[in-house]
Structure 1
Amino acid sequence: MGQHMARNLIAAGHEVYVWNRTAETAKDFAKNEACIAVVDPSDLIAQAQIVITMLADDSASDAVHLGEGGLFASTSGATLVEMGTMSPDHISELVARAPDKIRVIDAPVSGATKAAEDADLLIMAGCRHADPDLAAVFDALGRQTIYLGQSGAGAVMKLAVNSLIHGINQTLAEAMTLAEASGIAPALAFDVIEASAACAPMLKYRRSLYLNEAEHDVTFTVALARKDMEVTAGLADRLGTAMPQGRATLAKLIDAEKAGYGARDMASVLDFMRKERP
């Protein structure tokens, strides 16, 4: 997703610098696109007023912000925008530990790889508003930005949205296996679901993955879905809210990961459920 987002920023006329934990990835990207690769995260702040991170989890974000040569090692000022799915507690820690000249904003996104490619992401920003430069960056990346008023609110809403998405993913797998068990062909079953009142946008753009997962690149792994639901369950515990369906979804994701599905796309939960027995 980060590569698609960087391309959209370049296409919108922004001067872009890139870094990746795998240095060759950044170098190859910079070679093919009109941008510059840097050696360390701290070098990004030396070059740019706005730095976007798109990372998998809290530990990856810790390393990039707090590690040697990390973003917080810079003495320059910048706005750091964390657009990955992080826990609200992690965002609070980043805000608390940020050097004086650095502002941290959580602005996670909703939308898969295709949405990132098409600049069709929904951005959930944990701030009251954006200055013109940051607003222009958001406009280059997404179709809409919703400002949620306070730091950490973006992280909370991303977990809430993802818990719904992972619940739909599980329920779709169960509905499909029920239909298939009666002899209805998978494509026909999906036709009906897609035309029904139950269809969510994610089912439409992930149709090909559900029907032929092996023929497509992984867009979001079962392991990441499990991580999302674990963080969400922890947040629910802290806030004192009940999430019985979310915990059932988490249990199935844990089972799927134990069965070897962790690195596969979350659409593979359909294949996993086909092999489940009561």
Structure 2
Amino acid sequence: MGAAMTARLRSAGVEVVLWNRTPERAARVAAATGARVAQSAREAGAAGPVVLVSLADDAACRAAYEGPDGVAAGAGPGTVVADASTVAPQTAIELAALVRESGGGAMLDTPVSGSVPVVERGELTVMAGGDAGDLDHARPVLDVLAKQIFHVGDHGAGATMKLAVNALVHSLNQALSEALVLAERSGVDRATAYEVFAGSVAGGPFVQYKRAAFERPDEAPVAFRLDLVGKDLDLILDLAARAGAPMPQAVTNRRAVADAVAAGLGDEDMSAIARFLRDRT
């Protein structure tokens, strides 16, 4: 996701300074896009005025923000950190406080909805939590990446909304996988079944943009790893427990993802749930 964001920003003429926990990855993206590579997260954080963060989980975010060489130390007054990572709301709240206390900068939790192709088209949906003025400061950069930007509340609200959206996305993924395998096992050609799904009342954006992954799973690139789906569902169920919100479908989805990951599909795209079900007797 970070590489796709960099490419999109550079194509729009935005100067980009990169940092990655794996320097070789940053070097490859920089060579492909003309971005500059920072030597530390602090250096990247100081290169603002807008700093975008996109990392895999809460632990990765904390490691990148904390310490004398972290993002928080580099983000000084006038800098807004817009974090697109999917993390727990409490993590977003704590990181915002760390940025403010360490370097005097501001932070927004700005998780996004959309896959790499959506980034490439500049059509992400951004769910922003934090100060409205800070969001206005970050909009010139976010507008390059996003079709829609929603200010949903204070720090943590963006992270909360992203988990709610992903609860729906992961439920759609599970339901689509089950329905497709049902049609196949009952003798309907896979492509024909998917054509019907796409043309039906259920054929919303998720069904449309995941079509290649479900119809030709051996050819389509990995857009969202199944092990990260499991991470999301853990965050969703933890938030549900804190909020007192019953989510029986999310519990079932988490169990199905755990079974698929245990079967060796953790590095596969989320659509591999269909392959997992297809292979079961």
Aligning the two structures, in what range does the TM-score lie when normalised by the shorter sequence? over 0.9
Asked whether the equivalents of residues 128 and 148 of structure 1 are also in contact (C-alpha less than 8 Å), the reply is: no
Query: Take 2:180 and 2:67, find their aligned partners in 1: how far apart are those partners?
Result: 45
User: Residue in 1 aligned with 2:204?
Assistant: 200
Aligned alpha-carbon RMSD (Å): 1.5
- The change in CA–CA distance for 1:215 and 1:68 in structure 2 (over 3 A counts) is farther
TM-score for both structures, normalised by structure 2: 0.94
Identity %: 36
Asked whether the equivalents of residues 57 and 85 of structure 2 are also in contact (C-alpha less than 8 Å), the reply is: yes
What residue ranges of structure 2 are gaps of 5+ in the alignment? Answer: none
Query: Take 1:15 and 1:61, find their aligned partners in 2: how far apart are those partners?
Result: 23
User: Residue in 1 aligned with 2:98?
Assistant: 97
Query: Take 1:47 and 1:161, find their aligned partners in 2: how far apart are those partners?
Result: 31
User: Residue in 2 aligned with 1:81?
Assistant: 82
Listed one character per residue, the Cα deviations across residues 157-205 of structure 1 (whole Å, up to 9, x for unaligned) are 1101111111011111111111111100111110111111012211111
User: Residue in 2 aligned with 1:249?
Assistant: 253
Query: Take 2:45 and 2:177, find their aligned partners in 1: how far apart are those partners?
Result: 44
SS in 1 for 2:150: strand
Query: Take 1:85 and 1:258, find their aligned partners in 2: how far apart are those partners?
Result: 23
Query: Take 2:67 and 2:110, find their aligned partners in 1: how far apart are those partners?
Result: 22
Query: Take 2:26 and 2:242, find their aligned partners in 1: how far apart are those partners?
Result: 38
Query: Take 1:135 and 1:259, find their aligned partners in 2: how far apart are those partners?
Result: 42
User: Residue in 1 aligned with 2:185?
Assistant: 181
User: Residue in 2 aligned with 1:41?
Assistant: 41
1:127 aligns with 2:130: yes
User: Residue in 1 aligned with 2:214?
Assistant: 210
What residue ranges of structure 1 are gaps of 5+ in the alignment? Answer: none
Equivalent AA in structure 1 for residue 2 of structure 2? G
User: Residue in 2 aligned with 1:71?
Assistant: 71
Give the 4+ runs in structure 1 shifted more than 3 A: 130-133
Asked whether the equivalents of residues 222 and 268 of structure 2 are also in contact (C-alpha less than 8 Å), the reply is: yes
- The change in CA–CA distance for 1:253 and 1:68 in structure 2 (over 3 A counts) is farther
Asked whether the equivalents of residues 84 and 108 of structure 1 are also in contact (C-alpha less than 8 Å), the reply is: yes
User: Residue in 2 aligned with 1:238?
Assistant: 242
- The change in CA–CA distance for 1:203 and 1:227 in structure 2 (over 3 A counts) is same
User: Residue in 2 aligned with 1:109?
Assistant: 112
Query: Take 1:130 and 1:264, find their aligned partners in 2: how far apart are those partners?
Result: 40
Asked whether the equivalents of residues 132 and 151 of structure 2 are also in contact (C-alpha less than 8 Å), the reply is: yes
Listed one character per residue, the Cα deviations across residues 106-146 of structure 1 (whole Å, up to 9, x for unaligned) are 00000011001111100101135245541111111111101
**How far is 1:11 from its partner?**
2.6
Query: Take 2:116 and 2:86, find their aligned partners in 1: how far apart are those partners?
Result: 14
Query: Take 1:76 and 1:20, find their aligned partners in 2: how far apart are those partners?
Result: 20
Asked whether the equivalents of residues 194 and 204 of structure 1 are also in contact (C-alpha less than 8 Å), the reply is: yes
User: Residue in 2 aligned with 1:62?
Assistant: 62
SS in 2 for 1:123: strand
Query: Take 2:132 and 2:47, find their aligned partners in 1: how far apart are those partners?
Result: 24
Query: Take 2:41 and 2:31, find their aligned partners in 1: how far apart are those partners?
Result: 19
TM-score for both structures, normalised by structure 1: 0.95
User: Residue in 1 aligned with 2:23?
Assistant: 23
Query: Take 1:69 and 1:97, find their aligned partners in 2: how far apart are those partners?
Result: 13
Asked whether the equivalents of residues 19 and 41 of structure 1 are also in contact (C-alpha less than 8 Å), the reply is: yes
